[in-house]
């Protein structure tokens, strides 16, 4: 299992959120989640300009095995999507916390970040799921 | 508590992700199922298929028994070692299971049935066997390793004694021989050449390790599923079950309505053939992005159907599927994927054979 970066926040459903210097929030799925899904073959991205609600599905990642919804960790407007995943969805398998980001949101309510898990709490969640 | 094959610890030592399959703890992949898939298409891979059920049928009545038990005709089996793919049907023509029958001699046939259906199969076969005086011997002492791919036969032959190598090297497709204590069949479930090898449990781990040292890549059930669907091969429980006849499952080629053979389910098949088969199995290709999956709704000119087996095809780089749809010209077909109707092409399968996309795919 790869290390969980300290600057991320997590949803229980295994999405990560990273607050960037410009205030945008970049979103992906955790390394644990990509491992559960296996080889990814297709990512259905949101559209730039979409308005998303925290906790609502706004993207889909599909592996050979299964399709899985990706939930928005915070509400706001989608301002960037990782179009490179169209040709190389396996980037999520290779670098879930970096090049494998899925979309970026301009948040409408930063307080929602407080509802997310910090890396230690997420690591504890993974431990409890394994037992 | 799930059952494990003799190779279970070997899989775990190789870092396999394990999964329950029909009550068995089996390797799903050893890291990347797509890489394992390509290894089989391009070189050689191996699968532990020891969970499958091998049953030896013995008795003077074994050929008459099999003439009744299965829908294909064992009269085609005249040379020792020859194999036949077939379904066994219930009285309603529904598929109880699909199986391979090996002819060894007039008092000895060997069959291989699925793992998940083992209990019902054994009960059915035992009950049917009574009037024929045929005995059933389940061979749990044997492990089974499928070695598949363009280099599979060469890799296996290199490990055999000269005598066994000569015999196995001379096998035609769908035939088996014995050698070095192995039962070696030139059969498979991937659309590639190769062998399915029954090996005594006592030597199975050593044999697996020799194959691996000889350059054969371990592959899990994930790759096995994408390979078999590309090859246009049915999966029991997903593409057919007791509620469909072979005609509705794309398996008409396995039914022999030969004269003077009253196999179980025959009357229903004949009636269906005469009246018209209500449903058909078709192959689908999705050229758009997305993945076809089991249970998705299929819309045709003749009405709705559904995806049976669907997956991303690593060889083609797009999604493929089997669907059961109403009989007749399906017209322009669409599949409902999460509320969006995407156009798909109806194609003649297999999708992939011997490493390449088939014409028209």
pLDDT over 80 at A131, yes or no: no
* B85 inside domain: no
Hey, which residues does A59 pair with through a beta bridge?
A70
CB contact under 8 Å between B34 and A60, yes or no, is no
pLDDT over 70 at A42, yes or no: yes
Q: Which of B314, B331, B317, B323 is nearest to B289 (CA)?
A: B317
Please give the mean pLDDT across all residues of chain B.
97
> Does pLDDT of B292 surpass 80?
yes
Q: Is residue B98 part of a domain?
A: no
Q: Is the same domain home to B158 and B219? A: yes
Cβ atoms of B145 and B48 within 8 Å: the answer is: yes
Q: Does the pLDDT at position A2 exceed 80?
A: no
State whether B327 and B221 are in the same domain.
no
Please write the tens of the pLDDT for every residue from A6-16.
899 999 999 99
Q: What pLDDT was estimated at residue A3?
A: 78
Let me know if residue B308 belongs to a domain: yes
CATH, residue B158? 3.30.1360.120
Percent of chain B exceeding pLDDT 70 equals 100
Closest CA to A43 of A73, A85, A93: A85
> What was the ipTM of the complex prediction?
0.84
Per-residue model confidence (pLDDT) at position A78: 98
Q: Which of B277, B282, B264, B273 is nearest to B323 (CA)?
A: B282
- Is pLDDT of B131 > 60? yes
Q: What is the pLDDT of residue B342?
A: 97
Contact B291 A39 (CB under 8 A): no
Q: For residue B126, is it within any domain? A: no
Helix (H, G, I), strand (E, B) or coil at B207: helix
Report in angstroms the alpha-carbon separations of A15 from A29, A81, B2, B57, B280.
Answer: 4, 15, 32, 54, 42
pLDDT surpassing 90 at residue B1 = no
Q: Is B86 left (phi over 0), alpha (psi -120 to 50) or beta?
A: beta
Task: Check whether residue B187 and residue B331 sit in a common domain.
Answer: no
Q: For residues B68 and B266, give the distance between their C-alpha atoms in angstroms, rounded to a whole number.
A: 10
- How confident is the model over A58-114, as pLDDT tens digits? 999 999 988 999 999 999 999 999 999 999 999 999 999 999 999 999 999 999 999
> Mean of the pLDDT values across residues B251-268?
97
Indicate if B37 and B183 belong to the same structural domain.
yes
Domain assignment present for residue B91? The answer is no
Q: Once rounded to an integer, what is the mean pLDDT over residues A32-36?
A: 94
For an interface test with A, give the residue of B32, B312, B316 to mutate (most A CBs within 10 A): B312
pLDDT band at B271 (very low <50, low <70, confident <90, very high): very high
For residues B34 and B180, membership in a common domain is answered with yes
Res A65: pLDDT? 86
Listed by start position, the domains of chain A span: 13-130
Domain co-membership, B218 together with B289 = no
- Give the DSSP H or E segment for B185: strand B182-185
CATH of the domain at B285: 2.40.30.110
Which of B130-153 are b and which e, b meaning 16 or more Cβ less than 10 Å from the residue's Cβ?
eebebeeeebeebbbbbbbbbbbb
Q: Give B88's contacts (C-beta < 8 A, 6+ positions apart).
A: B69, B70, B71, B95, B96, B97, B98, B99, B121, B124, B125, B264
- Interface contact B314-A64, CB threshold 8 A: yes
Mean pLDDT of B129-153: 98
Answer yes or no: do B222 and A44 touch at CB < 8 A: no
**Chain A within 8 Å of B315 (Cβ-Cβ)?**
no
Which CATH number is A13-130 given? Answer: 2.40.50.100
Whether B132 is in a domain gets the answer: no
pLDDT higher than 70, residue B315: yes
Counting the structural domains of chain B, the total is 2
Return all residues near B360 (Cβ < 8 A) that are at least 6 apart. B347, B348
Interchain contact, A41 vs B28, CB within 8 Å: no
Taking 70 as the threshold, does the pLDDT of residue B267 lie above it?
yes
Note whether B212 and B314 are same-domain residues: no
Residues B263 and A98: their CA atoms lie apart, in Å, by 61
Does residue B147 sit in the same domain as residue B286?
no
Chain B positions touching A65 (Cβ under 8 A) are 28, 33, 222
Least CB–CB distance from B289: residue in A39, A42, A64: A42
Task: State the nearest Cα–Cα gap between A66 and chain B, in angstroms.
Answer: 8
Same domain, B294 and B177: no
* Pure H helices in chain A: 31-37, 91-94, 119-130
Q: From the list A60, A64, A93, which residue is nearest B312 (CB)? A: A64
Domain of B285 in residue numbering reads as 278-350
Contact across the interface for A39 and B33, Cβ inside 8 Å: yes
B340 occurs within a structural domain? yes
Q: Rounded mean pLDDT of B56-65?
A: 98
Mean pLDDT calculated for residue range B270-289: 96
Q: Are residues B213 and B341 in the same domain?
A: no
Please give the average per-residue pLDDT across A4-25, as a whole number. Answer: 94
Does residue B113 lie within any of the structural domains? no
- Give the pLDDT of residue A82: 98
Q: Give the model confidence (pLDDT) of B155-174 as tens digits.
A: 999 999 999 999 999 999 99
Q: What is the pLDDT of residue B293?
A: 96
């Amino acid at each position: 299992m790869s290390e969980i970066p300290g600057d991320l926040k997590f949803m229980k459903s295994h999405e990560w959120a990273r607050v960037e210097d410009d205030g945008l929030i970049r979103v992906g799925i955790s390394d644990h989640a990509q491992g559960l899904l296996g080889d990814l073959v297709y990512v259905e991205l949101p559209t730039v300009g979409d308005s998303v609600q925290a906790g609502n599905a706004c993207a889909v990642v599909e592996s050979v095995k299964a399709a899985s919804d990706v939930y928005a960790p915070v509400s706001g407007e989608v301002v960037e999507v990782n179009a490179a995943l169209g040709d190389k969805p396996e980037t999520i398998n290779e670098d879930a916390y970096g090049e494998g980001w899925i979309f970026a949101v301009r948040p409408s309510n930063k307080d929602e970040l407080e509802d997310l898990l910090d890396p230690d709490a997420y690591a504890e969640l993974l431990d409890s799921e394994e037992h | 508590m799930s059952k494990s094959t003799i190779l279970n610890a070997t899989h775990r030592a190789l870092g396999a992700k394990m999964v329950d399959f029909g009550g068995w703890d089996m390797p799903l992949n050893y890291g990347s199922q797509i890489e394992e898939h390509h290894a089989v298409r391009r070189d050689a891979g191996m699968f532990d298929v020891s969970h499958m059920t091998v049953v030896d049928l013995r008795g003077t009545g074994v050929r008459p028994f099999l003439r009744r038990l299965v829908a294909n005709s064992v009269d085609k089996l005249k040379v020792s070692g020859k194999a036949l793919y077939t379904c066994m049907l219930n009285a309603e023509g529904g598929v109880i299971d699909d199986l391979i029958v090996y002819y060894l001699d007039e008092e000895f046939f060997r069959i291989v049935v699925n793992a998940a259906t083992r209990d019902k199969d054994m009960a059915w076969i035992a009950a049917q066997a009574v009037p024929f005086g045929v005995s059933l011997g389940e061979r749990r002492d044997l492990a089974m390793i499928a070695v598949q791919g363009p280099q599979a036969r060469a890799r296996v032959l290199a490990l055999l004694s000269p005598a066994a190598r000569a015999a196995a090297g001379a096998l035609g497709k769908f035939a088996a021989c014995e050698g070095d204590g192995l039962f070696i069949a030139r059969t498979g479930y991937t659309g590639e050449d190769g062998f399915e090898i029954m090996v005594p449990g006592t030597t199975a781990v050593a044999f697996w390790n020799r194959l691996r040292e000889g350059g054969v890549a371990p592959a899990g059930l994930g790759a096995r599923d994408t390979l078999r669907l590309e090859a246009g091969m049915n999966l029991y429980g997903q593409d057919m079950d007791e509620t469909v006849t072979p005609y509705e499952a794309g398996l008409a080629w396995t039914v022999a309505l030969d004269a003077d053979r009253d196999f179980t389910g025959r009357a229903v098949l004949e009636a269906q053939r005469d009246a018209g088969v209500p449903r058909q199995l078709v192959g689908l290709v999705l050229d758009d992005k997305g993945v076809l999956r089991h249970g998705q709704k299929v819309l045709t000119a003749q009405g709705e159907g559904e995806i049976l087996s669907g997956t991303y095809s690593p060889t083609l780089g797009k999604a493929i599927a089997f669907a059961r749809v109403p009989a007749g010209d399906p017209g322009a077909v669409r599949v409902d994927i999460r509320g969006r109707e995407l156009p798909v092409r109806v194609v003649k399968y297999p999708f992939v054979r011997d490493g390449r996309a088939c014409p028209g795919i």
